[in-house]
Amino acid sequence: MSPQTRDRVAPIPRTIDGIADALPSAQRAAFNAEARTTEAADLEACLSKWWGIAVIEAAAPSDTVTPPGTASMTTVFLRRIAAGGAIDWTEIDAMRERRGARHIDWDAIDRARAAAGAA
């Protein structure tokens, strides 16, 4: 069962069960296989990678049609959120008001933000 609904996304715990529950079934199988065969020293990197994938899946962006080899601003933001890096949410929120912001899937950004447990 996914921790999300279309309107509300719960934070995804950085645990094996939390990540597995957030992934679609095809990806869940790949995650489980990798998590079970990863050495303890490398488990944090494995969990971080798959947590990022789960965050992007939870965002379910609607602008997935971009030219090959390019990324939309939505995709760039989603990757930053999923990487778990520092995000200046004040700046992101201010961007919503800027010209061109209509080309960004803000609903997907909000879902990723919630899935990442960001304030």
DSSP 23-67: S-HHHHHHHHHHHHHS-GGGHHHHHHHHHHHHHHHHH--S-----
Across the range 32-41, mean pLDDT stands at 95
**In this structure, what token pair is assigned to residue 119?**
């304030």
Across the range 71-90, mean pLDDT stands at 81
Q: Predicted confidence band at 76 (pLDDT cuts at 50, 70, 90)?
A: confident
| pLDDT of the residue at 91 | 83
In the predicted model, is pLDDT for residue 70 greater than 60?
Answer: no
**In this structure, what token pair is assigned to residue 68?**
């090959």
CA 86/CA 36 separation, integer angstroms: 29
